[in-house]
Structures are given as structure tokens and as C-alpha cells.
Chain A
Amino acid sequence: MIQYAAIILFVFGLYGLLTQRNIIKMIISLNIMEIGLFIFIISIGFVYDGVAPIISSVSETGLLFVDPLPQALVLTAIVIGVGTTALALAFAKSIHNKYQTFSLDEMEEQL
């Protein structure tokens, strides 16, 4: 069930990115797309009755573990998402310095 919810969250984010005319709302839609994608990737590696992939001593390796590879990929992706969002917000602040508005329609009138 959570895989369906993650894909629909991605589609919501894409709809917001296509139709909104405010720069801050576009950045928020980009973040919603990223969150949906992270939940979907981690749900690929889930195993029923599995435990978290941390080993404390060698004698307990007969347990059933959850797949650790998607978790490593999502860890990298979260940090890159932060870098992208920070740079986009710096651009938005600099645009507001020049045009005094965040809305794309009012910017087109001023051009």
C-alpha cells in the first residue's frame, strides 16, 4: 500500500510543478517529489520479519536482514536534495531583490 502512496505523491509533486505560478510553491513541489521517491526506493528493500542491518557480534548472523543497498543510495540522495533546495532558495531571494515579487505573472508584466 505504501508503494502506491509513494507513486501518487510523486505525481502530486509533478502536478504542482507544472501548474503553480509562485516560485516558492515550485520549490515546495520539487521537495514533495523527492520525498515520494525516497519512500518508494526504501520500500523496495523491505523484507517481512527482517531486522535493521546492524551487526553487533559475529555469532548472530543467522537472522533475516533488510536489504541495505537502497538505504545507502537514499542517504546520498537526501543530502543532494538539501544542496539543490538551498541553491534554489538563494536564487528566489535574489529574484525578489530585483522584482519585489515571487509570482511569475507579475514578473512578466514588469519585463
Chain B
Amino acid sequence: MKNLIGLLVSLLLGVLIILTLASSPSFPEFGSVDINDRVAGEYLDNDNVEEVGSGNIVTAIVVGYRGFDTLGEVTVLFISALGIALIFSDKKQKRLDLKFKPNFMLKTGSRIVFGIILITSLYIIFHGHLTPGGGFPGGVMIASAILLLYLADDKFRSNIKGFKVLEGVAGSLFVIIGLLGLVIGTYFLENFIPVGSLGELLSAGIIPIIYMLIGLKVGSEISGIVDNFLTEGESA
């Protein structure tokens, strides 16, 4: 009986959404959109692109035009990592005993692969304003490299205090750079470093600096989450 009511409610919602969007004159057809009618016409304009200096327009929107939303997103990630650390807090912790030993190939292969993953993640973070990528996937790749170290060794525990200090410092530096923009220039997160020419590595003002800070912060947060999932307290 409950299954039938659930099925009817979700079918009703789906039919309502499809009928409303199909008959509305302001919802465009799939693929036939005029960019100059939308806000994106201003973002893709020739003069504005030269003024911001970043080749990747999505990076320019996420860190430049809408940088305050990125600050909110970093706050949400911080709150979720804080909640997980609060749930799994015990006095003395040891590594979770999962009853299978890591393979020999995993133990030796992970030493080479760890270096390759770390270099790739640093490349993606540094070139965030020239090629697709940026701070968020680069930070999660750093956490993936640490996850590989956890999987390859039974008794490994990383330096959690160092990660927490790094995360706090990176987050505070993000806010301090924004406040510097307020002090020197006119608004929060203003670009006060001279913008170079389009397409070089050292260009686009404060955008590479902020992406590097975001990458370090996201990487250390998710490493902390992985460590919390793989340990247990002494009393269990």
C-alpha cells in the first residue's frame, strides 16, 4: 500500500515537471540557445576576458565573478568534516581490523603510483586557469593518493594533526586575501595583483593563489574524513 502511494506521488511529480517545462515559452529547446541573450554574453565578451586574464571561463566565474559562493561551499565542506570528526571521536584509536592482508603487488606498486598521482594532482591545481580542472578535483586527487597509502598498508596512520593545521591555515588565508581586497581596493575578493597576458602560467591575478589554497584545504579535509572512517576506538 505504501509502495503504491509512493509510486503515484513520484509519477505525478514527474508528469507535472515535464508538462510545465514543455509548454512554457521561456524554456528554450535543447541546443538552440542564444548566448548573447543571457548573462554569459558578458562573461564571454572579449574585453572582459582580457580584464580578468584567465583562459578558463568556468574558473573565472567560480573564483572571480562568483567568488563569494565558493567561500560558502568551502564552509559547507568544513562543517561536514567537523561533524564526522565529532561522531567518531574517542580517546585512543587504532586501525580498523578488516581481516584481509594487502597483496604483495599492492604493497610494491603503490609506492610508484603514489608519486604519479601526487604530481598529476599538483599539475591540475596549478594550471586551473589555463586548462580544465582547478582546485576541487586536484584536492580530491591528493586525498585519493593518501587513500592508496591507507589501502596498501595494514598499520598506516597519517599525520592527522599536521593535516588539521594545514586545513585551518589554508582556510584562514583565503578569507585574509579577500579582506585585503577590501582594505586596498573597493570590494571583497578584488583582484589587486596586476593581471598578466592571457595564456601564461603567471597570470590572472589572485585566481591561481586562491585555487591553490582551496586545493590544499579540500585535500586535507577529505584525508581527515578517510582516516576517521578507517579507525576505531579502543573500547569497541
Contacts and interface: CB of A to CB of B under 8 A. Distances in A.
B198 A55 contact: yes
Contacts of A15: 6-7, 10
A99 interface: no
B77 A19 contact: no
A76 B62 contact: yes
A53 B87 contact: no
A79 B136 contact: yes
Contact of A46 (B13, B31, B77): B31
Contact of B77 (A12, A48, A83): A83
B132 A54 contact: yes
Nearest to A78: B136
Interface in A12-61: 12, 14-15, 18-19, 43-48, 52-58, 61
A23 to B, nearest CB: 15
B87 A75 contact: no
A15 B84 CA distance: 28
Contact of B57 (A44, A68, A82, A90): A68
A53 B80 CA distance: 32
A68 B58 contact: yes
A91 B84 CA distance: 8
Interface in B20-45: 28, 30-33, 35, 38-40, 43-44
Interface residues of A, number: 50
Interface string B65-102: 01001100100110111011001100000000000000
A45 B33 contact: yes
Interface of B: 2-3, 6-7, 9-11, 13-14, 17-18, 28, 30-33, 35, 38-40, 43-44, 46, 49-50, 55-58, 61-62, 66, 69-70, 73, 76-77, 79-81, 83-84, 87-88, 130-132, 134, 136, 140, 198-199, 218, 222, 225, 228-229, 236
What 5 A-B pairs come out closest when comparing CB atoms? A83-B80, A18-B6, A11-B14, A53-B57, A72-B61
Interface of A: 1-4, 7-8, 10-12, 14-15, 18-19, 43-48, 52-58, 61, 64-65, 67-69, 71-72, 75-76, 78-80, 82-84, 86-87, 89-91, 93-94, 97
